[in-house]
Amino acid sequence: MSAPHTRPTQTPPERPTRGKRGTRRGGGFSWFTERYDRFVLPAPAFLLVVLLLVFPVAFTLYMSLHSWNGGLRPPEFVGLDNFARTLEDARFWGGVLRTGYFVGLAVGMQVVLGVAAALVFHRKFVGRGAARAFFLFPMIATPAAIALVWKMMFDPTLGVLSYLSQAVGGPPITWTSDPNLVIPALAMIDTWQWTPLVMLIVLAGLAALPHEPYEAARIDGAGELRVLFSITLPLLRPVVLTAAMFRLIDCIKTFDTIMIITAGGPGHSSEILNLYAFNQNLSFLNFGYGSALLVWLTLLVFGVAILLTIARRKGATSS
Amino acid sequence: MTSSDQPRRPRMRPRTVLRMIALYAILLILLLPAGFVFFWMVSSSLKQGVDIYTMPPKWLSFEPTLDNYERAFERTPFLRYAFNSAFIATASSLLGLAIGLPAAYTIARYNQKRLAVSLLTARLLPAVAFLVPFFILFTQVGLVGSYPALILAHLLVTFPLTVFIMVNFFEAVPSELYEAGEVDGAGKIGVFFRIALPLTKTGMVTSGILAFIFSWNDFKMALVLSNAETRTLPVAVYNFVHEASLEWGPMMAYATVITVPIIVLTLLAQKHIVTGMTMGSIK
- A205-244 confidence digits (pLDDT tens): 998 888 888 888 888 888 888 888 888 999 999 899 989 9
Residue contact A53–B258, C-beta within 8 A: no
The Cα of A285 is separated from the nearest Cα of chain B by a number of Å equal to 10
CA gap A213, B127 in Å, rounded: 44
Residues A270 and A187 in one domain: yes
- A250-272 confidence digits (pLDDT tens): 999 999 999 999 998 898 999 99
Closest chain A residue to the Cα of B59, Cα to Cα: A160
Residues A206 and A310 in one domain: yes
Q: Is B145 left (phi over 0), alpha (psi -120 to 50) or beta?
A: left
pLDDT in the model for residue A173: 81
Instruction: Tell me the residues of chain A between 191 and 250 that have a Cβ less than 8 Å away from chain B.
Output: 192, 197, 200-201, 203-204, 218, 242-243, 246, 249
C-beta separation of B192 from B105 below 8 A: yes
**ipTM for the whole complex:** 0.88
Band the pLDDT of B11: cuts 50, 70, 90: low
Facing residue for A19 by CB, picked from B107, B188, B265:
B188
The Cα of A84 is separated from the nearest Cα of chain B by a number of Å equal to 20
| Average of per-residue pLDDT across A31-58 | 87
| Average of per-residue pLDDT across A148-156 | 89
Closest chain A residue to the Cα of B208, Cα to Cα: A4
Residue contact A142–B129, C-beta within 8 A: no
Does the structure show a pLDDT above 80 at A75? Answer: yes
In a domain, A61, yes or no: no
CA gap B20, B13 in Å, rounded: 11
Backbone angles phi, psi at A78, to 5 degrees: -125, 10
Report the percent of chain B where pLDDT is more than 70. Answer: 94
Does the structure show a pLDDT above 50 at A20? Answer: no
Mean pLDDT of chain B: 87
Residues A167 and A291 in one domain: yes
In a domain, A64, yes or no: no
C-beta separation of A47 from B100 below 8 A: no
- A236-251 confidence digits (pLDDT tens): 998 999 899 989 999 9
CA gap A21, B55 in Å, rounded: 76
Does the structure show a pLDDT above 80 at B242? Answer: no
Does the structure show a pLDDT above 70 at B3? Answer: no
- B122-135 confidence digits (pLDDT tens): 888 999 999 999 99
Closest chain B residue to the Cα of A165, Cα to Cα: B56
The Cα of A53 is separated from the nearest Cα of chain B by a number of Å equal to 6
CA gap A135, B34 in Å, rounded: 7
Q: Please check whether residue A9 touches B, CB under 8 A.
A: yes
Letter string b/e over residues A24-50, b meaning 16 or more CB atoms within 10 A of that residue's CB? eeeeeebbebbeebbebbbebbbebbe
CA gap A251, B144 in Å, rounded: 28
In a domain, A81, yes or no: no
A17-31, A302-316, B151-165: least confidently modelled range:
A17-31
In a domain, A97, yes or no: yes
- B17-66 confidence digits (pLDDT tens): 888 898 899 999 999 999 999 999 999 999 887 777 777 777 777 778 88
pLDDT in the model for residue B150: 95
**Beta bridge pairs of residue A67:** A76
**Beta carbon pairs, A and B, within 8 Å:** 331
Residues A179 and A288 in one domain: yes
Of the two residues A144 and B282, the one the predictor is more confident about is A144
Letter string b/e over residues B84-96, b meaning 16 or more CB atoms within 10 A of that residue's CB? bbbebbbbbbbbb
Does the structure show a pLDDT above 90 at A187? Answer: yes
pLDDT in the model for residue B7: 52
What are the DSSP calls for B129-191, one per residue? HHHHHHHHHHHHTT-TT-HHHHHHHHHHHHHHHHHHHHHHHHHHS-HHHHHHHHHTT--HHHH
Does the structure show a pLDDT above 90 at A92? Answer: yes
Mean pLDDT of chain A: 86
Number of structural domains chain A divides into: 2
Cα–Cα distances in angstroms (integers) from residue A29 to residues A21, A93, B44, in the given order? 11, 56, 62
CA gap A221, B119 in Å, rounded: 48
Residue contact A4–B93, C-beta within 8 A: yes
In a domain, A240, yes or no: yes
pTM for this predicted structure: 0.88
Residues A33 and A94 in one domain: no
Residue contact A243–B281, C-beta within 8 A: yes
Determine the structural domain holding residue A12 and report its residue range. Answer: 1-41
CA gap B183, B272 in Å, rounded: 33
CA gap B204, A5 in Å, rounded: 6
Band the pLDDT of B121: cuts 50, 70, 90: confident
Residues A189 and A269 in one domain: yes
Q: From A94, A79, A102, A97, select the one nearest A292 (Cα to Cα).
A: A79
Of the two residues B197 and A172, the one the predictor is more confident about is B197
In a domain, A191, yes or no: yes
In a domain, A187, yes or no: yes
**Beta bridge pairs of residue A187:** none
pLDDT in the model for residue B123: 85
Report the percent of chain A where pLDDT is more than 70. Answer: 90
Residues A143 and A260 in one domain: yes
C-beta separation of B164 from A292 below 8 A: no
Angle between helices B248-268 and B201-217 (to 10 degrees): 170
Closest chain A residue to the Cα of B42, Cα to Cα: A149
Band the pLDDT of B12: cuts 50, 70, 90: low
In a domain, A134, yes or no: yes
Band the pLDDT of A316: cuts 50, 70, 90: low
pLDDT in the model for residue B195: 85
Interface mutation target, options B17, B124, B207, chain A, most CBs of A under 10 Å: B124
Band the pLDDT of A317: cuts 50, 70, 90: low
Does the structure show a pLDDT above 90 at A314? Answer: no
Q: Is A223 left (phi over 0), alpha (psi -120 to 50) or beta?
A: beta
- B52-97 confidence digits (pLDDT tens): 777 777 777 777 888 889 888 888 888 999 999 999 999 999 999 9
For residue A171, what is the domain's CATH number? 1.10.3720.10
Kindly give, in sequence order, each residue whose CB lies less than 8 Å from that of residue B138, ignoring residues fewer than 6 positions away. B144, B146, B149, B225
CA gap B159, B241 in Å, rounded: 31
Facing residue for B129 by CB, picked from A19, A56, A242:
A56
Domains of chain B: 3-65 (no CATH), 69-282 (1.10.3720.10)
Facing residue for A197 by CB, picked from B217, B259, B277:
B277
